[in-house]
Structure 1
């Protein structure tokens, strides 16, 4: 078995249309990493050879398709990789990829299937749905907090029972107090052993744990006798103190049950490396078929949530910092070539769970090193994203080195200033020539930063909004500068603020209630929590709803497959104004990156010097 290469991933086909030449083939690549390291992989040892053979056949099929397309057409063949985000189960990930694949092969898509040279890949890394672990999370609790949790629970429960029973009997019964304590302690001990040991554990180990519990019981009992029975005035204090301890440990357990930190670890340590392995195998197969040629495979990414980190870190690994292209990049000669056979195309980040610091800092970071090689880059965000505002920022509080909450926000929290061009009027709007809506704000949607054919830098329009109007901060305020440099990373993206995004028939908000407010309030977030978690009064997915709305889902995939320039063609949108109006009709705010101007005369904002 030592000579057998254990597979890092498995490949399956999406749908049954791959045999048709006029369809874009789709594949489902699944990392074989498991949710927990103790769980054995589902692939049996005897099946490893079979999985490796299937993977090899699929790799050959994908490589042959791409090589054949490169010989038929002048344009390079393209591989579009879709990567899911935080807390997506395997079933949910496959469903999203199948829907995406069906869309690009449907008449609704902007692609000319007969002329297409694409291959679609849906990549599944081992994410975990929240709360799935349940009581198993207690098994992973370290010994010290586990013992503290048990002792605190025993003290609280037994003391409360004592306070309830003593008045009823109208007498102080110390023996009754001891009896209650012993019973509660015994019950908690049995539960502790059951939770921490599998059912088929050696009796010797059970006996060892039993004597450990007896040894712990004696000092705990003595403390209980002194603080609860002898010093009866300390009972309430003991309940409060132990309750506080239980609350702190329970908060840590809840954070674990939300799975955010665990998902981030798996994304960085399993998801990235297994995807790199797939690209290595594909590169080796292409070189085997035709050797190293000038023909390259263009890779574009659609990434959602934590999948954005998987995508950008994968690009960073594939782009060797010591190769000639990377060295030329440092010298401002931007090359999209990565590895021996790939070139980087478009990068579409949807609700990116990437620190906002990555677009503010002047230091080297994985986002910048990925971004400078992209032809085009897009960010889809919205103010109402509860996953990024709650789970992500809560985890950042413990791990991210910032001294205020603003720098702890994510790129997916960045929104477009509703009224960026004029001082506020008495209604709170910033354009005195435009009438306010019923909420006192100007409805400014569509392309915002192109006025009279003149492009303004996107970073001038970006901000972080909280539930308090007084706490909103612009990107410039966060950076501490009066003006970002011309080569600012923030200006390399085209931004789509989908906070008020609506669909027609009937018109309703997809990612929020779409009330067109200048800033969402605490009451708005409370309503969104009810809608997001409990489906009241209707279900709203504030984090993944981008793929549920027809227009937004189509826009994401069309940009990834075609890019902005091809999208503005006679067959799609005749000009930039028509595209702007289409976004405006659905209440989406757009900030164009400098390299998307039709004139193409303004230098790329990532160019230094």
Structure 2
């Protein structure tokens, strides 16, 4: 057997637990070795220094080659997830799967819990070179140390001179005519100007680069101090007007710097950069290395290993971009918009499960090609879990994407995880209604006819601000783009509309037993108010429950509810038919789908099912 070519330095592979060759599901943690910060040491994992990585790849390849129906399920975490938190979740998924989803035959599935180097806003696990936890204080220090030179100059002028100006506006009436107080105040202004600037330069590590800056700010402070202290009270109106204008300018300059510091400390944009440049690239390399290992171990030429993905939050961004890279968009089948689900030499794309996806809402209503559309064309099944009360997406992600996503309206700036099932007739429907039990379960099955998911979904900000996808981009416009230059009679529009490929689980009102509350059914991802739309007061209560009390996890609660776990994990490991068989064994498909609808109805989940899931 030849060795795997090229260095293996992008990831480390560790078994979740010890397992025998006959076990039906093997589980591994796979950690990208990319550092959180560019200056951190990269953990070296290559053939010479750690042969275990190569050995694990061969183990995985041997296991899959000896399977009749081999598959890999890859779970990817979201933004701000610490390594310990990711491993805890993957261990939990693996435990659930081995207890509930193991197929009868051995050697079927390899589960990979993949961690890319996300940065938690408050505290990170130990990192090289110090191998100590990185706290919020450390992050603040790093934020100042990496502040660009120009921004440091602006911050120094704005903060120091702003404080002096504000003080003089207040103290000026008490200083005029008191010579001793005037000179003491001027001396204090000089001290604050010089040493305050020195302190900022020390914090930002720019003492050597900007040695004259304290002198310049000292001169500026003395000029402002001289005007405020020594000009007579008869000019009070002019002086105060000038000082107010200066103070406003100083506040604006400091405010801009503080806003940038806040964006950095939120780690959202930094994590998005890591997700694209580390997470995506390293996961593609992992799959490439498995492909190579399987090629070397396979007994025959016709082996096909199904790849399934379970992504959460920003992990959905990683997953869909990985699928896009793995797909060959230049082959003939792809150009004809009917690509095979085969990728590479041994893989085929299976199931795609997106949980609270931090992806643009624009990705499922395209009037042009996009990364999700190219990924979906190759997947056998696709599912999406969302929640109207998802505060992480509705606040942090939407706010940050306000400055980065090219949209003219609020609705087009929302995330895919904000997408919910339609509860209003149109944009001008302002009803404040309560939902009843009949409003839950599969809602787009109208007397045996499956309504297009695209026409059943909407974005809601309140009962007075909401729009359906069909109102944002009319379905006719989408269809025109799809069929442009093609023979309409040869195209099934529901097969190629991106939105219609997904089955949607709107968990806004989801009420169930959870890991922390196994005996009391509670709201899992929101407070299960069963209202047509959440309003400001509802979001306030939900924020207290999420941020202060820690009672509800609006972004990750899907991983703690009993039914939501069953849906996500069994769809990922068994597929839609496997889930139906587990729900109601030995019945026909229609009865099984009805059972799924009933289970979701009992837990107040709204489901919009993809037509292809029903019309097999």
Partners of 2:156 and 2:474 in 1: CA distance: 48
How much has 1:395 moved relative to structure 2?
Answer: 1.9
For residue 84 of structure 1, the aligned residue among 77, 85, 90 is: 77
Select the residue among 133, 157, 182 that pairs with 1:151: 157
Aligned to 1:96: 89
Give the aligned partner of residue 57 of structure 2: 59
SS at match of 1:29: strand
| Cα gap change, 1:237 to 1:331, in 2 (>3 Å) | closer
Instruction: Kindly state the Cα deviation for residue 440 of structure 1 after the two structures are TM-superposed.
Output: 6.8
Q: Does 1:25 align with 2:15?
A: no
Correspondences of 1:386-425 after superposition (within 5 Å): 386-418=391-423
**CA contact 1:418–1:442 (8 Å) conserved in 2:** no
Q: Which residue number in structure 2 is paired with residue 371 of structure 1?
A: 376
Q: In 1, Cα distance between the equivalents of 2:140 and 2:43?
A: 21
- Tell me, in whole angstroms, the C-alpha distance in 2 between the residues paired with 1:320 and 1:228: 73
Shift of 1:569: 2.0
Given that residues 508 and 525 in structure 2 are in contact (C-alpha distance below 8 angstroms), is that contact kept between their aligned partners in structure 1? Answer: yes
Moved more, 506-515 or 127-136: 127-136
Q: 1:97-126: per-residue Cα shift (whole Å, max 9, x none)?
A: 1111111012xx243355560010000011
SS in 2 for 1:569: helix
Q: 2:390 matched to 1:385?
A: yes
1:490 is matched with: 499
Residues 476, 483 of structure 1: 8 Å contact kept: no
Q: 8 Å contact 1:380–1:497 — kept in the other structure? A: yes
Deviation at 1:460, TM superposition (A): 1.1
Q: SS in structure 2 opposite 1:180?
A: helix
> Residues 224 and 316 of structure 1: is their aligned pair in 2 closer, same or farther, counting only changes over 3 Å?
farther
Using the TM superposition, name which of 285-294 and 401-410 deviates more.
285-294
Structure 2 counterparts to residues 40-189 of structure 1, below 5 A = 40-43=41-44, 48-69=46-67, 73=68, 76-106=69-99, 109-112=100-103, 114-115=105-106, 117-131=108-122, 132=136, 133-163=139-169, 171=177, 173-189=181-197
Q: How do residues 513-592 of structure 1 correspond to structure 2 at under 5 angstroms?
A: 513-535=527-549, 538-569=550-581, 572=584, 574=587, 575-592=592-609
Consecutive unaligned residues of structure 2, counting only runs of 5 or more, are: 123-135, 232-237, 480-492, 514-518
> Is 1:452 paired with 2:461?
no
Cα distance between partner residues in 2 of 1:51 and 1:494:
45
Instruction: Output the CA distance in 1 between the equivalents of 2:89 and 2:315.
Output: 13
- Counterpart-to-counterpart distance in 2, 1:506 and 1:171: 73
Q: Secondary structure at the match of 1:146?
A: helix
How many residue pairs get aligned? The number is 562
Task: State the secondary structure of the residue aligned to 2:378.
Answer: coil
1:183-262 matched pairs, under 5 angstroms: 183-197=191-205, 206=207, 209-219=210-220, 221-222=222-223, 225-226=226-227, 230=231, 232-233=239-240, 234-262=242-270
Question: What's the offset of the Cα at 1:193?
Answer: 2.6
Give the superposition deviation at 1:427.
6.8
Query: Are residues 37 and 249 of structure 1, via their aligned partners in 2, closer, same or farther at CA, if it must alter by over 3 Å?
Result: same
CA deviation after TM superposition for structure 1 residue 337, in Å: 0.2
**Secondary structure of 1:105 counterpart:** helix
Tell whether the 8 Å contact from 1:7 to 1:51 is kept in structure 2 after alignment: no
Q: Which residue of 1 aligns with 2:326?
A: 318
Tell me by how many angstroms 1:595 deviates.
0.8
- Is 1:475 the counterpart of 2:481? The answer is no
CA distance in 2, matches of 1:399, 1:79: 34
CA distance in 1 between counterparts of 2:141 and 2:83 reads 22
The residue correspondences of 1:424-463 to structure 2 (distance < 5 A) are 439=434, 444-463=439-458
After superposition, residues 334-373 of structure 1 pair within 5 angstroms as 334-373=339-378
- Whether the aligned pair in 1 keeps the contact of 2:439 and 2:606 (CA below 8 Å) is yes
* Per-residue deviation, residues 460-507 of structure 1 (Å, max 9, x unmatched): 11000003x221000001114557532321111000000011114312
Structure 2 length as normaliser, TM-score? 0.85
Q: Helix, strand or coil for the counterpart of 2:402?
A: helix
Q: Could you give the per-residue CA deviations for residues 236-278 of structure 1, whole angstroms, max 9, x where no partner exists?
A: 4433332233222212211111111111111011111111111
**Structure 1 residues 179 and 256 mapped into 2: Cα distance closer, same or farther (>3 Å)?**
same
Check conservation: 1:499, 1:514, Cα contact below 8 A. Answer: yes
User: What is the DSSP-based 3-state SS (H/G/I as helix, E as strand, rest coil) of the residue aligned with 2:577?
Assistant: helix
Aligned partner of residue 465 in structure 1, secondary structure: strand
The RMSD of aligned alpha carbons is: 2.6
- Residue 532 of structure 1 deviates from its aligned partner by 1.6
Q: Distance in 2 between matches of 1:541 and 1:570?
A: 27
Check 1:397–1:225 CA distance in 2 against 1; reply closer, same or farther (3 A cut): farther
Offset, 1:397: 1.5
Q: How far did residue 15 of structure 1 move?
A: 2.2
Query: Does the 8 Å contact 2:29/2:112 carry over to 1?
Result: yes
Moved more, 403-412 or 49-58: 49-58
Alpha-carbon distance in 1 for matches of 2:29, 2:35? 17
Deviation string, structure 1 residues 171-221 (Cα, Å, up to 9, x no partner): 554423322222222342232232223xxxxxxx85554334334543554
Report SS of the residue matched to 1:25: strand
- Name the residue aligned to 1:509: 523
Indicate which of 245, 253, 270 corresponds to 2:278: 270
In structure 1, the residue matched to 2:610 is 593
Change over 3 Å in CA distance of 1:207–1:369 after alignment to 2: closer
Alignment partner of 1:9 out of 11, 26, 41: 11
Any idea what SS the aligned residue of 1:494 has? strand
Kindly indicate whether the alpha-carbon contact (under 8 Å) linking 2:22 and 2:107 is maintained by their aligned counterparts in 1.
Answer: no
Q: Distance in 2 between matches of 1:447 and 1:474?
A: 18
1:349 partner SS: strand
Give the Cα separation in 2 of the matches to 1:270 and 1:208. 32
- What's the secondary structure of 1:472's corresponding residue? strand
Query: Which whole-Å CA distance do the structure 1 matches of 2:200 and 2:442 have between them?
Result: 59
Contact map agreement 1:389 1:409 (CA 8 A) in 2: yes
Counterpart of 2:516 in structure 1 is none
- Alpha-carbon contact 2:25-2:102 (below 8 Å) kept: no
Contact 1:419 1:444 in 2 (8 A): no
Whole-angstrom distance in 2 between the partners of 1:403 and 1:571: 45
- The Cα shift of 1:540 comes to 1.3
Q: How much has 1:321 moved relative to structure 2?
A: 2.0
Distance in 1 between the 2:177 and 2:156 partners? 29
User: Following the alignment from structure 2 to structure 1, what is the Cα–Cα distance between the partners of residues 165 and 49?
Assistant: 58
Q: Report the Cα distance in structure 2 between the residues aligned to 1:113 and 1:134, rounded to whole angstroms.
A: 53
